[in-house]
Structure 1
Amino acid sequence: MADFVLYLSLFIIWLMLFYHIFLMQGGYFHYFKHIKTKQLWEQNPGEMPTFSILIPAHNEEMVIENTLKAMINLRYPKEKLEIIVVNDYSKDRTGAIIDEYADRYSFIKAVHTKPPHAGKGKSGALNLGLKHSSGSVVAVYDADNRPEPDAIYYLALSLNKDEKAGAVIGKFRVMNANKNILTRLINLETLTFQWLAQAGRWHWFKMTTIPGTNFAIRRSILEELGGWDEKALSEDTELSFRVYNLGYYIRFFPAAVTWEQEPENLKVWWKQRMRWARGNEYVIAKYLFGFGKLKNKKIVLDLFYFLFTYLLFFTGILLSHAIFVINLFVDLDLTIGMVSYVLLITGFLLFVIEVMLALSLEKRQLTVKNVFAVVFMYFTYSQLWIALVMNATFLELKRVLLKQEVKWYKTQRFDQKL
């Protein structure tokens, strides 16, 4: 029995590893293809659309001013740009700061939520902001973001040149990557995710997932979908599935870059990632049980990816770890012997190579310090995700069975200097 469980777990792990290798190749190909596409499109960009940027903000006084300054510096025709900041029932000076900038700049609008429809989460704030917007394209940025000056231009360029794209996502970078070991590991994680999962899936399948920030979507599509799902903790993933179901795809265009702040301690990281994991599990359940009603069956590719990542892959890792630990104290009479250790070591080396390949696509990221950090990441940060997903799964099952209300957690910010 122990042999069967171990073989099964190793099969699941290696299936995912091979899939990640396949995706990383696609990400690498897309990196070079994207450069040529960008140069070609810039020769004739076309008429720039009107743009509405939505920024949901709840207790963001530490970061919101720097974000607004970055918005002001965007190189985009101001007569075609409106920035709508939704102050979602903040208890600090967020509202006052937003009002100050709205008074000074005609293209910045302040929207304040009021009880009882206030402080309930990002989706509700975005839906309210959408009602106050008028642009033919709607973009979203988190309140801690500093988009580069040309970020909106490149999002607009992508939609101008690709009529089949219902939405386009850019790339995000970690502004506080060198703060401590945790932020360094998060930086490695985000870069790998974008060049592996996002760029790789786009290259092979024309599929990506909308992130919570630095993306643009056609207003007509957003209105047809009825805005954001206010029950979803991962409103971005949920929106992605509905965009695909309409027959559109979501383009990954890494020329559009924003810089964002990441958690600087484990407590904040855990709460943020817990929301992400629970939100993605909500999406898995929503579309898995409603699969028969989906018009675009291509969604099964992304549904499988999330199902495998959050349930099967972590189950395989958990089983293999459990058998390894138990075998240290009780002889399970395993016949696989040294083969299992060779597979585990090879899997570790593949993990390191995948991350290093992603780092090679970013300037000044493939360093000796980061190589050691990748090794450390495998034995610490990556293993922590196992406990997190287990806890998220338990909490989601509990919420469904007890019919509990979904509670939104707003990521804590840290003081930053411009």
Structure 2
Amino acid sequence: MARYSSRHRDPRAGAKVPRAHWALLLFAMLALLAELALGGIVNGVGGEGGAPRAAATGPAAPKAVRGGGPVLRIEAGSDVATRHLPPGTVALTFDDGPDPRWTPQILDQLARAQARATFFVVGSKVNRYPELTRRILAEGHEIGIHTFTHADLAAVPAWRRRAEIALSQNALAGATGQLAVLMRPPFSSHPDAMSADDFAALRDVAGAGLLVVLADRDTQDWRRPGVDAIVAGALPPAGRGGVVMLHDSGGDRSQTVAALGPLLDRLKGHGYQLTTVSEALALPPPAVAGPGDRLRGDTLRAAQTLSGWLNHAMTALLGTALALGLLRLVLQLATARAHRRRARRQRHRPVFLGPVTVIVPAYNEAANIEATVRSLVASDYPEVYVLVVDDGSADDTFRIVRDLRLPRVRVIRQDNAGKPAALNNGLAHTHTDLVIMVDGDTIFERDAVGRLVQPFRDPEVGAVSGNAKVANRGGLLGRWQHLEYVMGFNLDRRMFDIGRCMPTVPGAIGAFRRGVLMGAGGVSSATLAEDTDLTMSVIRAGWRVVYEEKAIAWTEAPSTLRQLWRQRYRWCYGTMQAMWKHRDTLTRRGPAGQLGRRGLTYLTVFQVLLPLAAPAVDVYAIYGLLFLPLAQVAVPWLAFTALGALTAAYALRLDGERLRVLWSLPLQQFVYRQLMYLVVVQSVVTALAGVRLPWHRMVRSGAAQSLLRARTR
């Protein structure tokens, strides 16, 4: 498409493009990352046995703790009060749940034995299985908290410890309407195993008004030592009471379930009373959660549930994007091979097909216009006429062309009315059957005109797209655009040619039958992508549009990110205008239907929908780096990048280009790609807001002039 500047007649042309959506997009991306991170944190929650804690090597806890009972009340400062269970009383406790597989089996066995127990639940699992949590309470058991993510409290900062407790209480309040009074820290055991760091961490628990429950008997069932060992480890010395530590989640708990029946029988046979920790010590009942606690709990559970859905949705989206990307590469490669074979079969000596007029619309093109005109005059095609239409330029464009005084070159002047008007004015002053339209910053190869018109031997062909190449390809930005032209635009054009659904003949180099143009009503100004709009009109009129890869022209690409943004913004917005204008082709038959169902569908999927989804995919990639195994993220990315590199290498070979530019391809994924999808976001928002985008002019650097000088030395 051409990069051009003109006034607009549309009264909304000066309307300000909305900007607030960038803040909304950033907020949405951060919110999505936060939700995915929540899912990543809670999905990794396990229990004892999943990641065993390293043995403590520092100082021990105070003697009052190590020599006391398993239930601790930590007062202000370091004052500690501990209690033992009464003789003949056993409190079975289960950590790490609830678990949909193991917890119900344990509850069933407790119900058969008419025994009650205390369950220290993980807050994130309470959110995941609220019904199971409520069942624990409904069957007369007691619930304490075991942190929200099974965090080692001694290994995390103070703010994290407080958050673990608060979130666990919120989860419990939302699921049951209660607040716990008991808490067991993960990776804990007997009081005499507590370190000074463990004790320091428990001060935050004390600040939350909770009692800490450790154990008299640690069965270490998470090690799966066997049923007999678990039973033996749970039995207290004769006549003494105790708190017994077991687990109902966090791994394979089949041995715990198998040991529970024999353990209950042994304890009952020895006359032990099986009860909860609170009942054994006559502790007050759990507090009723207030409306605020319940609201926070419901909100937390909703956020966690949403994070789970988002993780599944993003996995599906990423898989779909990768599949579509792979399908696109396969289609591009297959059709490129087919196009190359067809071109070889049809290759023959160029013939003269009659005179050709080249129309060059120009607005402030003083930097390149002389080079453009001279390259056209130097064509080896026998009869080429050049008509420059100066669209009210404020620089020396008109004078430069006039003073060249070259044969078969004319320049006419009009008031600034826009590129479509300039092209239509040129058509009105043209009488040859074949017309070529060229931007004012484009350099033609000597044989480009002749090669460009050869497809008109076929009477079904109404327009021909040439091969536009980037002239100023120095620096990363130039290399990235060079790759995009070769790998994206030109591979797509070969595919569109084979599929007979070419949506765009670029303004840089395109040829038409003059009668086809006049039959289409000339060049329309209804969209900013006049070349796309015109090409679609040609196809829906029943003509074929083909791609001639050997007709090469060199064009100046934007040299800064700002200029690139302005150019692509107009291209994208104009293309969407043209797609909307020609949307009825989706239901038409013949060539128009091929354009609609093939061309418009392809543009919608790969140039609108996938770029709109790209921000979410990038957020998911960041999430993957933070929470997924590195290989799970790196391998697909490396594989897809390698496949893209192979495709780019093939495209470069097809275009006769060197492969050394491929080193910049991986870097393209981190700046250029984001710029392109943000352009689509901006264009969609602008269209939905009903704003008519004004024409943007690209500042010329004179790259075409420099190229011509270099080629003529």
Question: CA–CA distance in 1 between the matches of 2:668 and 2:407?
Answer: 46
Q: Tell me if 1:55 matches 2:360.
A: yes
What is the one-letter code of the residue matched to 1:73? Answer: A
Structure 1 residue 145: Cα displacement? 0.9
CA pair 292-201 structure 1, distance change in 2 beyond 3 A:
closer
Question: CA–CA distance in 1 between the matches of 2:514 and 2:358?
Answer: 11
**What does 1:102-121 align with in structure 2 at a 5 Å threshold?**
104-114=405-415, 118=416, 120-121=417-418
RMSD after superposition: 2.4
Structure with the largest fraction of helix: 1
CA pair 151-260 structure 1, distance change in 2 beyond 3 A:
same
Map Cα deviations across residues 234-282 of structure 1 (whole Å, 9 max, x no partner).
1111112111111111111111111111111111111111111111111
Question: CA–CA distance in 2 between the matches of 1:282 and 1:213?
Answer: 20
Question: CA–CA distance in 2 between the matches of 1:386 and 1:50?
Answer: 43
Instruction: Tell me which of the two structures has the higher relative contact order, counting C-alpha pairs closer than 8 angstroms and 6 or more residues apart.
Output: 1
Tell me the equivalent position of 2:392. 89
Tell me the equivalent position of 2:675. 384
Tell me the equivalent position of 1:23. 332
Moved more, 252-261 or 281-290: 281-290
Q: Secondary structure at the match of 2:659?
A: coil
Question: CA–CA distance in 1 between the matches of 2:671 and 2:648?
Answer: 15
Question: CA–CA distance in 2 between the matches of 1:365 and 1:261?
Answer: 19
CA pair 255-62 structure 1, distance change in 2 beyond 3 A:
same
Map Cα deviations across residues 13-70 of structure 1 (whole Å, 9 max, x no partner).
42233123221222134234424422x3x1xx55422211110110011110111111
Structure 1 residue 206: Cα displacement? 6.2
Native 8 Å contact 1:208 1:251 kept in 2: no
Tell me the equivalent position of 1:263. 558
Question: CA–CA distance in 2 between the matches of 1:182 and 1:351?
Answer: 18
Tell me the equivalent position of 1:74. 379
Q: Tell me if 1:298 matches 2:591.
A: no
Tell me the equivalent position of 2:698. 411
Tell me the equivalent position of 1:229. 524
Tell me the equivalent position of 1:213. 508
What is the one-letter code of the residue matched to 2:514? Answer: R
What is the one-letter code of the residue matched to 1:365? Answer: R
Uncovered stretches (5+) of structure 2, i.e. residues with no partner: 1-308
Q: Tell me if 1:349 matches 2:642.
A: yes
Q: Secondary structure at the match of 1:170?
A: strand
What is the one-letter code of the residue matched to 1:138? Answer: V
Native 8 Å contact 1:231 1:406 kept in 2: no
**What does 1:7-406 align with in structure 2 at a 5 Å threshold?**
7-38=316-347, 40=348, 42=349, 45-78=350-383, 81-101=384-404, 104-114=405-415, 118=416, 120-160=417-457, 162-178=458-474, 180-205=475-500, 207=502, 209-288=504-583, 291-292=586-587, 296-299=592-595, 300-325=597-622, 342-367=635-660, 370-398=661-689, 400=690, 404-406=691-693
Question: CA–CA distance in 2 between the matches of 1:289 and 1:337?
Answer: 47
Question: CA–CA distance in 2 between the matches of 1:337 and 1:18?
Answer: 26
CA pair 289-396 structure 1, distance change in 2 beyond 3 A:
farther
TM-score of the aligned structures, taking structure 2 as reference length: 0.52
Question: CA–CA distance in 2 between the matches of 1:88 and 1:246?
Answer: 29
Native 8 Å contact 1:207 1:250 kept in 2: yes
Map Cα deviations across residues 144-188 of structure 1 (whole Å, 9 max, x no partner).
11101111111222112x21111111112222212x221111111
CA pair 337-364 structure 1, distance change in 2 beyond 3 A:
closer
Native 8 Å contact 2:501 2:598 kept in 1: no
What is the one-letter code of the residue matched to 1:60? Answer: E
What is the one-letter code of the residue matched to 1:50? Answer: P
Native 8 Å contact 2:501 2:539 kept in 1: no
Identity of aligned residues (%): 24
Structure 1 runs of 4+ aligned residues shifted over 4 Å read 289-295, 326-329, 336-342
Question: CA–CA distance in 2 between the matches of 1:137 and 1:65?
Answer: 23
Native 8 Å contact 2:503 2:536 kept in 1: no
What is the one-letter code of the residue matched to 1:21? Answer: V
Structure 1 residue 11: Cα displacement? 0.8
Question: CA–CA distance in 1 between the matches of 2:514 and 2:472?
Answer: 33
What is the one-letter code of the residue matched to 1:216? Answer: A
Native 8 Å contact 2:625 2:633 kept in 1: no
Question: CA–CA distance in 2 between the matches of 1:327 and 1:187?
Answer: 31
Question: CA–CA distance in 2 between the matches of 1:30 and 1:181?
Answer: 30
What is the one-letter code of the residue matched to 1:49? Answer: G
Structure 1 residue 106: Cα displacement? 4.2
Question: CA–CA distance in 1 between the matches of 2:548 and 2:621?
Answer: 42
Question: CA–CA distance in 1 between the matches of 2:345 and 2:625?
Answer: 54
Q: Secondary structure at the match of 2:593?
A: coil
What is the one-letter code of the residue matched to 1:357? Answer: Y
Native 8 Å contact 1:27 1:196 kept in 2: yes
Native 8 Å contact 2:502 2:535 kept in 1: no
CA pair 25-323 structure 1, distance change in 2 beyond 3 A:
same
Structure 1 residue 7: Cα displacement? 0.3
Map Cα deviations across residues 346-374 of structure 1 (whole Å, 9 max, x no partner).
3333222221221222335112xx22111
Structure 1 residue 406: Cα displacement? 4.3
Uncovered stretches (5+) of structure 1, i.e. residues with no partner: none
Q: Secondary structure at the match of 1:250?
A: strand
Native 8 Å contact 2:444 2:553 kept in 1: yes
Q: Secondary structure at the match of 2:669?
A: helix
Moved more, 19-28 or 130-139: 19-28
Question: CA–CA distance in 2 between the matches of 1:70 and 1:47?
Answer: 19
